[in-house]
Every structure is written in C-alpha cells, then in structure tokens.
Structure 1
Amino acid sequence: MKLSLREQLTAAIFAGVIAVFSQIIIPLGPVPLSLQTFIVGLTVTLLGRKTGTWAIIIYLLLGLIGLPVYAGAGSGIGAVLGPTGGYLVGFLFTGLLLGTLLKKVPLTFFWVILANLISFIVTLLFGSIWLKIANDLTWTAAMLGGFLHFLLPEIIKAIAAGTIGVLLLRRLPEKFLSSK
C-alpha cells in the first residue's frame, strides 16, 4: 500500500487526533467508555480506507512503543494484552471494514451512519472476545460487559461520526481529503 507524502502526513496528524480523543473517558470497570471508536470512525469516514487505516496503525504503534496514547493514558504491550486489547485490535479491522463499506455505498447520512455502526459492532465483538480470554470470563459475562454494556453508546457514536463525517465531506475541499 503506497501513500503519498500528503497521505502519510494526514495519517500521522489523525493518529494524534485519535490519541487526544482516546483520553476522553468515563471509567466503567476494566473497560472504560471512551471516544476512541467515534474518532476512529470519523477518521476513516473522512480519509478513506487506505489513509484512515494507516492513521489507526500509527496510533496503535505509538501506544505499543510506550507513548501514553490509549484510553486513560495506557500504553505498551500490557495494554494490548490486557482487558482492552481486543478493542484496540478491533480498531484496525473497523478501519478496513468501514473504509470498504464506504467505497460501496452512497455517502449519505443513512449509509455512512450504518457503515459506522456495523464497523463499531466489529470493534465490540473483538473487544468482547478478548475480554473473555483476558479475564477468564464466561461468554455471557463477556458479552454483557464488553458488548451489550457499550451498544447504546456505540450507536450514539456511530450517529455522531456519520453525521459529522458527511457534513465535513460536503464542506471540505476535495484536495484536503485523501482519495476514497
């Protein structure tokens, strides 16, 4: 996957934006409620699959090398292997899926919100599976605590990311954004 210098710089800037939004959290036990999925969705909505996914990869790598960019200033391999690791890994698949879906649908409010919601559900599934393994939970406990508990906030975030994304896509000059 080859990116132009502009796309690389845009991905790096948005990785920083993801890191900032990741610090906006509400602690709710082992998995906090944060704005990570919102900003991941908005990033991919604006930048497309290629550049948006690179922004997510850069963000994940920044945390892996020890910079406190994950939710609650988390970082390192311990954060990835801990209870929230599945959500972090899920962001990568969310970016790929969301970017792919957005290439196939009209960029209307309905379709962009729906694509964000479907992609956010992928993050929740990755997170719940990882939560089950990391905390040795039953499937019921993992799905209740890692999926259902976050479903309503993710619906709200999908609506926000899709709405803001469509509004910005309609208003920003096309040269600002990467190729979809």
Structure 2
Amino acid sequence: MMDSRNKLKMMIVTALFAAIIGIMAQLTIPLPLVPITGQTLAVGLAATILGSRYGTISVLVYLAMGAVGMPVFSGMSSGLGVIFGPTGGFLIGFIPTAFITGYYMERTSFKLPNAIIANILGMFVALAFGTVWLKFIAELSWTAAIMAGFVPFLIGGFIKAFLAAWAGIMVRGRLLTNRLLLA
C-alpha cells in the first residue's frame, strides 16, 4: 500500500508531466489540418517514465486543463472546441497511447529496446485515433484522411518515439535512484 508521502510524490510528478505535455504542445510545425507538435514526444516520455497508470493520468490532467480553458493545446489554444475539432482525435488518442505504452513497459521491462517498441506502438495508436477522427470530423475520404493525418507524421513519429524511449529510460533511472519515483 502506498503511504501518503509516496502518493504525494506521484501526484506531483504526474502533474509535472501534464504541464510538460502542455509546454511541448507549443513546439509546433504548422501543416494544413493537423500541426506537428512536441506533445506526442511528451506523452511518450510520460508513459515511459511513469508507466500506464500515472502516464495516463498525466494525459487526462493535461486534457482537463485544456478543456477548462488553460491554453495548453497547440498554438496556446484551449477549450472543448479544440477537443471536438479536427485535431481532437489525436488529443483523445493520447489516452490509450499513454496507457498502451506504459502497459507494454510494465509487462516487459524498462529497458531501451522495449521502450522503443512501446513508443512506436503508442505512435501508431495516436495516429490511428487521429486519422479516424479527422476522416469523420473534416468529412474527408479515407485516402485524404490518411494523407493528412497519418503519412506526414510517420518519420517524425519514429524520431519522437526513439527520443521518448531513450530520454525516458534515462530520466526514469535517475528519478528512481533519487527516490522521486516509485518502481
């Protein structure tokens, strides 16, 4: 059972990762319908470092902050209009992305090869959610949705998956060593 001190540590670290996702969302390369952002890297980091439960909670806190009006989404935007707009599928897709990435890490081991696999799986989950959402919200054909919501993000997605895996394993190790994270 987790004592109150450890619970507080995990709440603080989880909130910190929600803020990191919001900060990384501001690193943007604009594209016509969906921009390339740093938030996918941050979601991968959160899941790799915190695991499925706390990684997913950090994404939920991030989405709640944006839903209530804090400008944490790409381009300092916020609100339910963003969540239910063309990019909303990617935002909603971060929930299963964080869970699946963290779950894979927990079921295998927190080692770099597993982290790379987990983050690549997570990338595909986010892209799939985003592409399906984009197809219906923007009323696109499947080909147009795939060309707008999937293909442009593959190379960057692989790069971000590798970076999240590498940095996540390093940071997780240091946080565990300094007892700032529960194993």
TM-score by length of 2: 0.92
1:144 maps to which of 142, 147, 150: 147
- 1:49 CA displacement: 1.3
1:134 maps to which of 116, 137, 143: 137
Aligned counterparts of 1:15 and 1:117: Cα–Cα separation in 2 = 21
- 1:174 CA displacement: 5.6
8 Å contact kept, 2:9–2:181: no
Q: Which runs of 4+ in 1 moved over 6 A?
A: none
Amino-acid identity (%): 38
- Secondary structure of 1:175's counterpart equals coil
1:177 maps to which of 173, 177, 181: 181
2:91 is the counterpart of 1:88: yes
Aligned counterparts of 2:113 and 2:64: Cα–Cα separation in 1 = 33
2:21 is the counterpart of 1:21: no
Aligned counterparts of 2:98 and 2:174: Cα–Cα separation in 1 = 23
8 Å contact kept, 2:48–2:101: yes
Q: How does 1:4-153 map to 2 (within 5 A)?
A: 4-153=7-156
CA RMSD of aligned residues (A): 1.5
Runs (5+) with no aligned partner, structure 2:
none
8 Å contact kept, 1:48–1:178: no
Amino acid aligned to 2:159: I
Runs (5+) with no aligned partner, structure 1:
none
Aligned counterparts of 1:76 and 1:175: Cα–Cα separation in 2 = 36
8 Å contact kept, 2:21–2:39: yes
8 Å contact kept, 1:51–1:178: no
Amino acid aligned to 2:180: F
